[in-house]
Structure formats: C-alpha cells, structure tokens
Structure 1
Amino acid sequence: MNRTLLGLAAVAIAGFGVTVPATAAAATADYGPDTCRQGYVWRAARPADRVCVTPGNRDQTALDNSVKRTRWTSGAYGDHTCLTGYVWRGAFDGDDVCVHPKVRGQAAADNAASPGRKVAAKVWISKYTTSSTGTTDDIPKLKINGSHFNYGQIKLYVRYNGSNRIAYQVLINGTNHPGFDGGSFGRKTGLFDCSGPGKPANAYAQAHDLVSGRWSARVPIRIGCAVL
C-alpha cells in the first residue's frame, strides 16, 4: 500500500512539471525569494504553488490531486461537491480538491508558516559601543544582523562601493534564536560607524547563504571615517 501511495505521488508531482525530487528541497539552490529553507519543499498543489512544506506534506498533496476526481459528486456545490467525509482543501483560492478535514487544516497551517520557511535572507545594521568615556570606544560600531537564512554556514561581507574592495568578511553559522525565523545571527564587526550629515554611504554589508547560494540585499553603510 505504501508503495502504491508513493507511486501515485510521484506521478502527480511529475504532472506538475516539478523537477526537484521530494527529498531535495528548493533549499539546495537559489530559486529566488521562493527558495525554501533546507528540509522544506514546494507544495505544488498547482504549478504556481510555492508554499514551503515538509516532503511528506507535498507527497500527500500530490496524492490528493491524483485522486481528486474520485472524490467529487454532483450536489449542493455543483459537480465538485465533495463526497461525505471530505472537504475542499482550500490551499489557494478556488482549490476544490477534496481531502480529509485534517489535511485542509494542515494546508492552512502551511500557508501561514510558509514565509518563515523561506530563505528571505534579511539583513539589517545595528550599532554598539564598547564605551570608555573619552576614547574612540565611544564611537558607535557596526553590527550585522540577519534572519530567514538556512541553518548552516553564512558568509558576511562589507565592501566599498564601486571597487567592491573587501573591508570585512567572516564565515559564521546561522543558528536558532527565539523570535527570529530560520537561521539568524548578530555579528559585531569592529568597524566604526562613520555616517553623518554630508557623509553618504560609501560601502555596503551583505550576507551569502552558502547552503542555498542566496544573497541578501546590500545594506548601505559608511565606514573609514575619512574622505576616500
């Protein structure tokens, strides 16, 4: 029975034109903003469905799609009225595939959780001081923060505009921190914050998720504290 279910799932997935295997996840390559974190795959309830779910939930979705015609009957909701014991899945607007009620609940839960399962590669800058009054330790320094990365290696860069000359780089690990989705981090760079009136950004910070290949957006900063 298990082999039959897996076979049906494989056929249904192939019918959507999804070429990544169920166990591979979109997280093994950069698929843009819809890249799933490692351990999740696209649900593929329809070709455009990029909700990130567990491989088991995608297999269930494919199986339900493959047998949908056997669960429809003519009734109060037209030709796609569900047989007794089934309900419309509702994975997207207009999704009338009939499933067990618990599957509909899972689809709703996956829809809500999906944004936190994607490699959004969010990066922002905060400042800190080592505070010794009257010394350069009072000058704010830059800290690079990030969330929505994979759990694993992330490379941080600070580069100067134009030349892309590297001012700072370090290899870190994205780890779990309460309140932040996916692999997250906060790294003190030791670089002085040299921003101020008439001092526009002359560099940028950026993070590279090495698991998926995804890059964050470039975050403008001012470093050097001198006219370049």
Structure 2
Amino acid sequence: MQAAGSITEGPQKSLGSPLMNRTVLGLAALTAACLGLALAAVPAAAAPGPETCRQGFVWRQAKPSDLVCVIPGNRDQTALDNSVRQTRWTSGAYGAHTCLSGYVWRNAFDGDDVCVHPKVRDQAAADNAASPARKLAAKLWVSRYTTPARMGDKSGTADIPKLKINGSHFNYGRVEVYVRYGGTRRVAYKVVLNASAHPGFAGGSFGRKTGLFDCSGPGKPANAYAQARDLVSGRWSAKVPIRIGCAVL
C-alpha cells in the first residue's frame, strides 16, 4: 500500500506538440557537493547546481574537474589508485607511463593514464555511461490525456485533453508539484507526491493527472507554468509554460 500523497501511476512520454515535447533542465549558478542526506528547503541562491548527483552518488573526481557520479566506494577506489599511480608506472612501449604487468590505463577521461586493474577500468567506463542518469537534473514535462464520457454526462468535456505533469531525474522521495498562473502567486494546482522508480525513466520519476484542461492552441499563448521541487535536496525544476483556464461550454 502506498503512503498518502504517493503516486498511483507513472510518467508518460511527450505526445509530440512543442509544448508536450518540452523537457527542461533546471539551471543554477553554483556547483554544489552531492547530497547524501535529506535536507530542508534550500534558498534559491544555494540550490544544487546542474552537476549535482542524486542522493546515494558522489563525484568520482579522478581529476578535480571529473564530475561523473559514482557510488562512494568507487570514489574511494579512484582516490586510492590516484595516490599510488607512480608505483605502477614503468618505462616501456607506451613511454614513461607504461603500466606494470597486470595493470591497464584507467581511461576515466581523455588522457587518464593512471594504472589500475582491468576490472577498475571497466567500472570507470560503466560509470561514465551511467552518470547522466545519476544527475539531479529535475526534468519536468507535460503530456495530455482524456477521460471517457460517463453515462448521462452532457458537459461535452470528455474529449477535451487535460494536462498530466511528468518528471524524472529527481531523488527518490517527496516532490512538490504545482501549477501557477504566470506573473502571480495564484496556484491552480498543487500536490506532494513520491518520486519512485519506473522502467524507462532515470532516477525518481512520477506522473500526475491534474484535471486541468489543456487550453493551448493557435493564438493562445501560455498563461501559467508547471514546476516541481525535489524536497530531498531543495532543487527546483525549470518552469514549463502551459495554458489553462479556458472556457468550456
């Protein structure tokens, strides 16, 4: 049984319109250390940056600028291999940094000639490939859905698309999702839900039907936006423009 406020359905892919295809990354000016603990809400100026890892991952730092997200044990292994790198070099076919027998270059980044066991090199390649999905990117997008007409319903609204808010690359845990009218503090929709694992989506993900009609169309610019906040880290998604509040006859 899910806890109160948790999601009952997963996220959906975009349906193809420019509005629905808008998957956005939250932007921030600061690069923060990866978060290993649940934090209280963070002021906007101190919010995690785009290279922040999701909870449970840390920067590998095979070199100072190496921001690949790995589990802490792999970071520790990287630091250990860096500390003994000179003891594993010898002059040979590949120059002064030829590896001793049984070791290979790690290749965690271009030019990485730290000598490691082959399994460590393979792990570095795997971490490189997996790192984008381990970032706290707080991606948010909108899709549409319709509800079948009920017997006796004469409103004529059954076929009008409604908005579903989807997210991925969040921490596992509580996420606050809301729709707010542009230029105001007026909230049209707000819910706190649980981001969890769903096949095909990285990190904590979710999908929530809002019941709000999609009022977008030619000559009808956005008048509101959807946004989500990762309550584990305080990270905000970017704002996704939408149009709501259309007259339904």
**Fold shared by both chains (TM-score > 0.5):** yes
8 Å Cα contact 1:26-1:36 kept in structure 2:
no
TM superposition score normalised by structure 1? 0.85
List aligned pairs for 1:63-74, cutoff 5 A: 63-74=80-91
Inter-partner Cα distance in structure 1 for 2:201 and 2:165: 15
Q: Deviations over 1:175-209 (max 9, x none)?
A: 11111111111100111111112110000001111
8 Å Cα contact 2:53-2:135 kept in structure 1:
yes
8 Å Cα contact 1:27-1:37 kept in structure 2:
no
**Identity of aligned pairs, percent?**
75
How far is the alpha carbon of 1:70 from its aligned partner? 0.7
One-letter amino acid of the structure 2 residue matched with residue 114 of structure 1: S
One-letter amino acid of the structure 1 residue matched with residue 85 of structure 2: K
The structure in which a higher percent of residues are helix is 1
Structure 1 position 167 matched with structure 2 position 188: yes
Of 93, 102, 123 in structure 2, the residue corresponding to residue 76 of structure 1 is 93
Inter-partner Cα distance in structure 1 for 2:173 and 2:63: 31
8 Å Cα contact 2:181-2:225 kept in structure 1:
yes
Q: Which consecutive unaligned segments of at least 5 residues does structure 2 have? A: 1-31
Indicate the residue corresponding to 1:187 in structure 2.
Answer: 208
Which 10-residue stretch deviates more, 200-209 or 30-39? 30-39
How far is the alpha carbon of 1:27 from its aligned partner? 8.1
Inter-partner Cα distance in structure 1 for 2:136 and 2:37: 10
How far is the alpha carbon of 1:31 from its aligned partner? 3.1
8 Å Cα contact 1:68-1:98 kept in structure 2:
yes
Inter-partner Cα distance in structure 2 for 1:140 and 1:62: 53
Provide the secondary structure at the position in 1 that maps to 2:234. Answer: coil
Indicate the residue corresponding to 2:9 in structure 1.
Answer: none
Provide the secondary structure at the position in 1 that maps to 2:129. Answer: helix
Of 139, 142, 148 in structure 2, the residue corresponding to residue 131 of structure 1 is 148
Provide the secondary structure at the position in 1 that maps to 2:96. Answer: strand
Q: Deviations over 1:82-139 (max 9, x none)?
A: 1111110000000000000000000000000001111111111111111217522322
How far is the alpha carbon of 1:151 from its aligned partner? 0.5
Inter-partner Cα distance in structure 2 for 1:211 and 1:151: 8
Provide the secondary structure at the position in 2 that maps to 1:196. Answer: coil
Q: Which consecutive unaligned segments of at least 5 residues does structure 1 have? A: 1-18
Indicate the residue corresponding to 1:6 in structure 2.
Answer: none
Provide the secondary structure at the position in 2 that maps to 1:204. Answer: strand
Q: Deviations over 1:10-49 (max 9, x none)?
A: xxxxxxxxx969xx54986843111111111100100001
Structure 1 position 150 matched with structure 2 position 171: yes
Provide the secondary structure at the position in 1 that maps to 2:50. Answer: helix
Indicate the residue corresponding to 2:134 in structure 1.
Answer: 117
